[in-house]
Chain A
Amino acid sequence: AQSVTQLDSQVPVFEEAPVELRCNYSSSVPPYLFWYVQYPNQGLQLLLKYTSAATLVKGINGFEAEFKKSETSFHLTKPSAHMSDAAEYFCAVRKPNTGNQFYFGTGTSLTVIP
């Protein structure tokens, strides 16, 4: 089986404070991992992806994530939160060798406090 676990359903941060959204995966083979952001009443926008190249991946809007095989983690970070970062964030894993099926976590709601 292959899945992702997002450990926090809600994360509040103050504006300009650092952000960390946690994601752990379970996979018997090296996976492809993704972070997507969803703003209210919108679809999913790709933030960044890990596809077995560099373990530290930089994405849009100043976000980055580090693939840690030993910890089976792919946490999303940003040095300084902006009000516009308030949204729902989803971690996803692609099931390898069987097409392009994605498994999503349950999401983390990021609240930015002014």
Chain B
Amino acid sequence: DAGVTQSPTHLIKTRGQQVTLRCSPKSGHDTVSWYQQALGQGPQFIFQYYEEEERQRGNFPDRFSGHQFPNYSSELNVNALLLGDSALYLCASSLVTGETQYFGPGTRLLVL
């Protein structure tokens, strides 16, 4: 039973570019959440997707957008990248009725 998977593992972009990160949830899970973890900080909630819709959103600008597909996988898109967007991006999956989130290994994004 595969856990949460994310791709790519590492990514380097320049300011102003756009990036897409991908996540496949744990088998049987229907909800995907995305978090940003800056160096030396705890993860910060970006948004959550369920039934292909954004269900909740944290305090992030509209440059951050997402999508969930019918197979429950998800994408995180960031437009007009800033240096401050450099971070580890974590995907977490869960059941909409469940209380626990399970995390993937993350994608480390470096913006130059």
Contact = CB atoms under 8 A, between A and B. Distances in A.
B96 interface: yes
Interface stretch (B13-21, B39-47, B65-73): B39-47
Q: How large is the interface on B (under 10, 10 to 19, 20 to 34, 35 or more residues)?
A: 20 to 34
Given A42-B105, A43-B105, A44-B90, A102 B99 contact: no
B33 A107 contact: no
A32 to B, nearest CB: 5
A99 B56 contact: yes
Contact of B96 (A32, A100, A104, A106): A100
Contacts of B101: 100, 102
A100 B94 CA distance: 8
A54 B99 CA distance: 16
A32 B42 contact: no
Q: Is the interface of A mostly helix, strand, loop or mixed?
A: strand
Interface size class of A (residues with CB under 8 A): 20 to 34
Given A44-B103, A46-B102, A100 B48 contact: yes
Interface of B: 4, 6, 31, 33, 35, 40-45, 48, 55-56, 58, 90, 92, 94, 96, 98-106, 108
Interface of A: 32, 34, 36, 41-46, 49, 51, 90, 92, 94, 98-107
